Amino acid sequence: MIRRILPPVITGVLLLLAWLALHAALPASQQFLLPTPVRILSAAAARAPELASAAAWTATAALGGFALATTVAISFSLLLASSRLVRAALYPYVMLLQMVPIIIIAPILILWVGAGLPSVIIVTFLISFFPMVVNNTQGLLSADPNLVDLFRMGKATPWQQLWLLRVPSALPYFFTGLRIAAVLAPIGALTGDYLVGTTSGGNAGLGITAMIASTRSEIPALYATAFIACALGWVFVATVSAASWAALHRWHDSYNQN
């Protein structure tokens, strides 16, 4: 146990010391570039309610976009995997849509949907959707051909083949896509907040909070938002990793038996 806990703790302490040393090495007039952890913590404490509501708002947007992307990606990949014809007709456009930069979509979203949570969710959706669709479709199509023969032999209905063979075969791919999306969703929510978010009654997300801190040169607060964003991303990834472990560890080779 100690062997597992000690190395990251030591790394953490060393990083902290390096940070402080770097801070001390800077001339006084430049120390604002790298505020001490204490200053960051006190900046975070001083605006705790604001940061908490911003984090909650961004988490809501990230979760909303992530859930939407997961649902749509699952349905869409089932459609894509259903026939070669559908795939040939739709796949190029899926790829093309992926290329549209969010920064160009932003003004269009504000025109059509209006700035606010729905638009931020759409931005999050757009950012996290594609890796999932690509992975899910690939997974559904990659069932072992011998197993496909087995199911044909067993006179499986198309429905049985889908649920008992293709969907379980796709699970490892699904979780790979989900993990990428879990990294992207909080980033999407932050970017979306910045581009198509709003503030009303103090309901700003982390993106707008960071933007304000940046222009007002509130560097400790900026670092604080960065750490909160990291923590949010970590929660997303950790949750997906746990779900992936629960679904795959008993049988999939990516989880070693020992």
Partner 1 sequence: MPSPVAQLKSVTKRFGAAPPVLDDLSLTANPGDFISIIGPSGCGKSTLLRLLSGLTPASSGDINVLGHPPGETDRLAYVFQEPTLLPWLDVNGNVEALLRLRNLPGTEITTRREQALQLVRLTDRAHHYPRQLSGGQKMRVSLARALTLQPDLLLLDEPFGALDEMTRDHLNEELLTIRDQQNWTAFFVTHSVAEAVFLSTRILILAPHPGRIVAEIAVDFSHPRTDELRRTDAYLRLVAEVSRQLRAVEPANATP
Partner 2 sequence: MKYLPLLLSLLALGFVGCSQKADPNKITVQLDWVPEPEHGGLFQALAKGWFADAGLNVELVPGGPNAFVTQKVATNKAQIGQADSTNTLLAVNQGLPLLQVAAVFQNEPSVLMLHADNPITDFKQLDGKKIMARPDWAFLPYLKKKYGIDFTLIPFNFSVTNFIADPDFIQQGYYIAEPYFITQGGAKPPKFLYSWDAGFDAYSVLAANSAWAKENPELLRKFIAVYIRGWRDYLENDPAPAHELMKSLNDKNTDGFMAFCRQMIIDEKLVVGRDSTDSSQIGRLDPARYQTQINQLEDLDILPKGALTVDQVMSTDYLPAK
Footprint of partner 2 (CB under 8 A): 18, 21-22, 25-27, 29-33, 106-107, 110-111, 114-116, 193-201, 204, 207-208, 211-212, 214-220
Query: Which of partner 2, partner 1, none sits in contact with 155, Cβ below 5 to 8 A by type?
Result: partner 1
- Would you say 9 or 18 has its CB closer to partner 2? 18
Minimum distance from residue 211 beta carbon to partner 2 (Å): 6
Task: Return the amino acid letter for 70.
Answer: T
Alpha-carbon span 17 to 7, nearest angstrom: 15
Alpha-carbon span 168 to 46, nearest angstrom: 49
Residues of the shown chain interacting with partner 1 in the complex, contacts defined by CB under 8 A: 144, 146-147, 149-156, 160, 164-165, 168, 171, 250-253, 257
Task: Return the amino acid letter for 247.
Answer: A
Count Cα neighbours of 56 within 13 Å in the Cβ-side half-sphere.
8
Token code pair at residue 61: 């947007």
Query: Which of partner 1, partner 2, none sits in contact with 257, Cβ below 5 to 8 A by type?
Result: partner 1
- Would you say 22 or 89 has its CB closer to partner 2? 22
Q: Are 158 and 140 in contact (CB under 8 A)?
A: no
Minimum distance from residue 22 beta carbon to partner 2 (Å): 6
- Would you say 34 or 183 has its CB closer to partner 2? 34
Alpha-carbon span 77 to 176, nearest angstrom: 14
Alpha-carbon span 198 to 137, nearest angstrom: 35
Q: Tell me, what DSSP letter sits at residue 100? A: S
Query: Which of partner 2, partner 1, none sits in contact with 152, Cβ below 5 to 8 A by type?
Result: partner 1
